[in-house]
Each structure stands twice: as structure tokens, then as C-alpha cells.
Amino acid sequence: VALTLTPMMCSRLLVAHAGEGRVARWLGRGLEALERGYRRLLGGVLARPWLLVPLVALMLGAGVALFQRTPGELSPYEDRGYVRASVRGPEGVTIDWTTRNVQQLEPILAAVPEVESTFLIAGVPEVTRGIAVIRLKPWEERARSQQEIARTLRPELARVPGVVAVPSSPPSLGQDSRSPPVQIVLQTSGSYQELAEVTDRFVRAVETWPGVTDVNGELSLETPQLEVTFDRQKIADLGLDVDSVGRTLESFLAGRQVTRFNRDAEQYDVIVQVADADRKEPDDLAAIYVRGRGGQMIQLSNLVQFQETVAAKELTRFNQLRSATVTAALAPDYTIGQALEHFTATAREVLPDNFRFDYAGPSREFDQAGSSILLIFALALAFIYLLLAAQFESFVSPLLIMVTVPLSM
């Protein structure tokens, strides 16, 4: 502004006058009175250095102490007129199970007087999860804020059986409302089994702190699955091949598009698949047959063996190391800075020597912003100093002015 806008405005607005107007004289007298008063006050203070120096030191020390104790956050939370609730079910459930349990939230949300409408999604971002978007009435039609409503909903949604539903206030300034604010990534070069054990221990250590809710370690090694093993010798004896048996399993269970047909200028896919009611249990494989040599129908259960096992839902890496992300939502009246301080202290206490940690999502943004603020502040001071030096045509006068900046902060 000082380098571009002000000079341009002065060239347009400042014109020569033969004499001062009434408003200019009135402003001039006011500024002169202010200058005289400030001169007397400044003279009285400078005449007592024994009082001035300790006072300045006290103010600087108090400023540093208050700055260190002030909770930090990425951006202030505003009342944006809606609340978002994340819903999480147990591993291995189907989309129908998730849908039924997500629908339990509807009567609870409808009973809140400030709620205008709700929008529930099951199976997003995973089959076992869901999202509820609660749109609130306009600000002038409600007495409670978005944060107060989310705080009230928290114990109500916690009573819903079968799922974990956590309401939260969406962040401001374009941040992703789907991403939990607290995210710490545990990394190791060891095995995933060791990583899972350490992650569980870390989650138990941090979830007792009242500043966070819905603490979740996103490394699951217990996702149920059905392991099918082909009896290759028996398949060969019956004149079949593994490919035909595998395609039969795929067609009947996962579904296969076999053709398309046109009707009324619309194209439709024809998909072969067993009805949902006939493929719910492992024993349903006995009802599937494979066509063998000479057209003979052979029961699929005679050709394969199956057993129910558990496995990892996904295996992730971060910085080329095996990793697990621990996420959490913030409790009311707590900030992301306080949460990361607690998580960091717990990680240094709980994690073994072959583990390291980093941040992700909003936590990573907050950490990077905090580390760069000192550089930005130093550059700002250098820019201001050069600007003042150009205006005063002196390298000393700007220092006298800028030495008051810490006191003003």
C-alpha cells in the first residue's frame, strides 16, 4: 500500500491551496494538542529510566510467556450453518448393514429443533463407513451456535448401537471437512504385526486425554475374508481347468457382464450373478455347479476348499516406511496445537527406538505453518525497515520506531 497505492492517490487527491479550510484548521489544532500531550508524557517517562526499563522488560517477558501458552490452531472455527458426523462400523460388514445402522441417526437428528434438513450417505468412503450432513436453520432463527449443537449431539449419537458416530464442526478457509483434524503417522521398518501392536498401544495411551474424541488407528489386520483353495488334481481328473472354475466363481458371486441389449434407444448391460439371498454364507457355494466333460454338472464344493480367515484391509507406506495413521477429532474448547503437543509427547514416550512419526492432513499443514511463521515474520520486519529507511532517509530512525513493535504485540 505504501509503495503503490498511497503515491498514486496523493498524485490525484493532493492539490495546492492558497489557504487552509475550516476542517483543516480544526484537524490541525487537534493534532497539535495530541502532539503536546504525547511530548509531555514521553518526557515524564524518559525522566524515570529506573521505572521504564523494568516495565519494558516485564512487558516483553509477559508477551513471550503468553505467546507460548496461547493455544494454536490452523484457522478459527466459524458457525458455517451445518454439522458433519462421521459414522464407522466394524470391519467386514456389508453395505446393507451399514445402511441400516446409519438410518438410526435420522430420528435423533430430526429431534434437534435447530436442524433444517439432514443428508445421510452409507458406504462412503468405505463400505463400513458413512457420513451425515446436518444442515442448520439460518442464524437469526436459532439461539445456539453450530459448535453448541455439535456438542449436544455427541452424547446422543454415542448411544447408537453398532456404529461409532461422531459429530464435528467443519473447518474454515476451504479445508477438507472429511479429513480428521488430528493425524499422526507412525512409521517403522519392522513388520506390520509389530506396527499394529504399537499402534494399539499408542491409541490406548492418547484416547484417555480429554482433548480428543474418536481416536482411531487406521491399521486393521483383522478384516474378515473367505480364502478359497482349488483342488487342482481333482479339477484335472474331471477334465476341467482352473480358469473355468475361477470364471464360474467370478460370474456367480462377483457378477459378469455377458452382453448388452437396446430398447427404446437405451442400452442396458446384462449381468449374470446369483441373487443376494443365495450368496450370504460360505455354505452357499454348495449350490453352484460347474459343467464338466460331456456336459456333466459338478458341484463346486467338491472342487474347492474354503476357510474363513482375517487379513489386512490395506497396507500403507509413508516416506517409504511401513506406516499406520492414528486420527482423532477435537473435543470442545481444545485446539489442534494442544492435541499435537500431547500426541507428540506420547509418541516420544510410547514408541520403540525403531519407530518414527510424522503428521498428515490438517496436522501437517499446522506444523508446517508454525515452522515457517518465524521466517515470514523476519522477512516482514526487514521489508518494513527498508521502507521506513527510504521514507526517513535514515538507517537509525526506523530502529527507534521498530523497537516499539514487541511492546505493541
Q: Quickly state the pLDDT bin for 31 (edges 50, 70, 90).
A: very high
User: CB neighbours of 129 closer than 8 A, spacing ≥ 6?
Assistant: 86, 87, 88, 89, 98, 123
Report whether pLDDT(378) > 90. Answer: no
Cα 358 to Cα 116: distance, rounded to the nearest angstrom: 40
Please give the pLDDT value at position 345: 95
Q: What is the pLDDT of residue 280?
A: 80
Q: How confident is the model at residue 267 (pLDDT cuts 50, 70, 90)?
A: very high
Q: Is the pLDDT of residue 146 over 80?
A: yes
Percent of the chain with pLDDT over 70: 99
Single out the residue of 63, 74, 8 nearest to residue 339, CA to CA: 74
Q: What is the pLDDT of residue 176?
A: 74
Query: What's the pLDDT score for residue 409?
Result: 67
Q: Is the pLDDT of residue 33 over 70?
A: yes
pLDDT the model gives residue 179:
82
Average pLDDT estimate for 317-337: 91
Decide if 103 contacts 74 (C-beta within 8 A): no
Q: In the predicted model, is pLDDT for residue 326 greater than 90? A: yes
The label of the residue with cell 526499563 reads: 53
User: What's the whole-number average pLDDT of the chain?
Assistant: 89
Overall average pLDDT of the 184-209 stretch: 94
Q: Beta-carbon neighbour count of residue 237 at 10 Å?
A: 9
**Dihedral (CA of 312, 313, 318, 320) sign:** positive
What is this structure's pTM? 0.72
